[in-house]
Amino acid sequence: MLSESEIHAIDHEVSLVPHKKAAVIEALKVVQQHHGWVSDEKLEEVAAYLDMSPAEVDSVATFYNLIFRKPVGRHVILLCDSISCYVMGYKKLYEALHEHLHIKFGETTPDGRFTLLPNACLGCCDHAPALMVGEDLYRDVQVQDLENILAQYK
Partner 1 sequence: MEKPLTQHINLQQPLSLKEYEAKGGYSAVRKALKMTPQEVQKMVQESNLKGRGGAGFNTGMKWSFVPMGENAPHPKYLVANADEMEPGTFKDRLLLEGHPHQLIEGMIVAAYAIQADISYVFLRWAYKKAAALIRKSIAEAYEAGYLGNDILGSGWSLQMHLHTGVGRYMCGEETALLNALEGKRATPRAKPPFPQISGLFGKPTIVNNVETFCCIPHIVNNGADWFKGLSKSEDAGTKIYGVSGKVNRPGAWELPMGVTVRELIEEHAGGMKNGYKIRGILPGGASTDFLTVDHLDVKMDFKSVAAAGSRMGTGTMIVMDDATCPVGFVHNLQHFFAQESCGWCTPCREGLPWVERILLSIEKGEGRTEDLELLQMHAQFLGPGNTFCALAPGAMEPLQSALKYFRDDFERHIHQKGCPY
Q: Which residues bind partner 1 (CB under 8 A)?
A: 16-18, 21-26, 28-29, 59-60, 63-67, 78, 81-84, 86-88, 119-128, 132, 135, 137
Known binding residue 124? Answer is: no
Cα-trace Rg, the chain: 18
Shortest distance (Å) from residue 19 CB to partner 1:
8
| Cα 66 to Cα 107: distance, rounded to the nearest angstrom | 15
Q: Which is nearer to partner 1, 60 or 103 (CB)?
A: 60
**Secondary structure of residue 44 in the 3-state scheme:** helix
Cα separations in angstroms, 20 against 7, 69, 73, 142: 13, 22, 31, 46
| Cα 26 to Cα 134: distance, rounded to the nearest angstrom | 19
Shortest distance (Å) from residue 88 CB to partner 1:
7
Known binding residue 85? Answer is: yes
Known binding residue 121? Answer is: yes
Shortest distance (Å) from residue 90 CB to partner 1:
10
Known binding residue 125? Answer is: yes
Percent helix / strand / coil, the chain, rounded to 5: 50, 10, 40
Residue numbers belonging to the annotated binding site for [2Fe-2S] cluster: 80, 85, 121, 125
Known binding-site positions: 80, 85, 121, 125
